[in-house]
Copies of this chain bind each other. A is one copy, B any other.
Amino acid sequence: MSNRIGKDIIDLLLRPSTATLTSVMRELGVTNIFMHRVEPLRSGMKMAGPAFTLRYIPARQDLDTSVIDNLRDVQRIGIEEIAPGQVLVIDARGDTRAGTMGAILATRIYRRGAVGVVTDGAFRDSPVIAEIGLPAYAVAMNANTNKTIHHPSEIQVPIACGGVAVIPNDIIVGDGEGVVVVPASMAEKVAEMAIAMEEKEDFLLEKIRAGESIVGVYPPDEKIIGEYEEWKIKKARACEH
């Protein structure tokens, strides 16, 4: 499929912060892409991969049976369809009154090669999920099983998560601050621009750390841009050796 993003682009997207990615996309005219209220389950997280989406609707007693059938339950089907490198993104309508997934299913997708899981609801078994090794992002922790509040409705359709649209195969990037959605069609351009911006901002941050005023430096005037261009050349040469 044409909107599958290559591993090389995804690797690039892992390097800049979500803040830099958000800035770059704003320059490209797209602003509503950082998930609101969705936080990392533990610090030091970093993830990037195409979205595999799961959509919940509110639970209703006539829709849910108490016995879970892995071959009919949409959540369970999704778990066994998720592919290596993907990030599971779950639309829980911002409702945190139940978990959207527990430790066993989170372990399963980790074993299938998923590189992250994100929801605008809650996880259950959160302390266990935090130890799996799978980057996980949610609004809250809640021990209730998903069926208490949620009914799995569809997989791999466009969803809402944390107030932003997520289309299957959009690249989902997470760090210690939260989660940003990079539309698939923009991924390559965004990766390129973000790495350039991150490098430049690292250079500027050094100047600020050294005590310079933001005036002339951030944003940089022509003199500072000149210095930066030289610094880049030097750095490139240094790398050559």
The chain A residues found within 8 Å of chain B, CB to CB, are 17-19, 21-23, 26-27, 29-34, 36-37, 39, 43, 57-63, 66-68, 70-71, 76, 79-80, 93-94, 96-97, 99, 102-105, 107-108, 111, 124-128, 140-145, 147-148, 151, 153-154, 157-160, 163-165, 167, 175-178, 180, 183, 185-186, 201, 204-205, 208-209, 211, 213-216, 218-219
Residue of B94, B183, B201 near A60 (CB, 8 A) is: B183
**When the two chains form their complex, are residues B153 and A60 in contact, meaning their CB atoms are under 8 A apart?**
no
Separation of A159 and B93 alpha carbons in the complex (Å): 11
CB distance from A233 to the nearest CB of B (A): 23
**When the two chains form their complex, are residues A154 and B157 in contact, meaning their CB atoms are under 8 A apart?**
yes
Ordered by A's residue number, 22 sampled pairs between the chains whose C-beta atoms are within 8 Å are A19-B102, A19-B103, A30-B62, A32-B61, A33-B60, A37-B140, A57-B158, A57-B165, A60-B165, A70-B215, A97-B163, A104-B204, A105-B218, A107-B209, A108-B208, A108-B213, A127-B176, A127-B177, A141-B177, A141-B178, A142-B177, A142-B178
Complex: chain B residue closest to A151, CB-CB: B165
- Tell whether A180 pairs with B143 under 8 Å between CB atoms, given A33-B60, A58-B160: yes
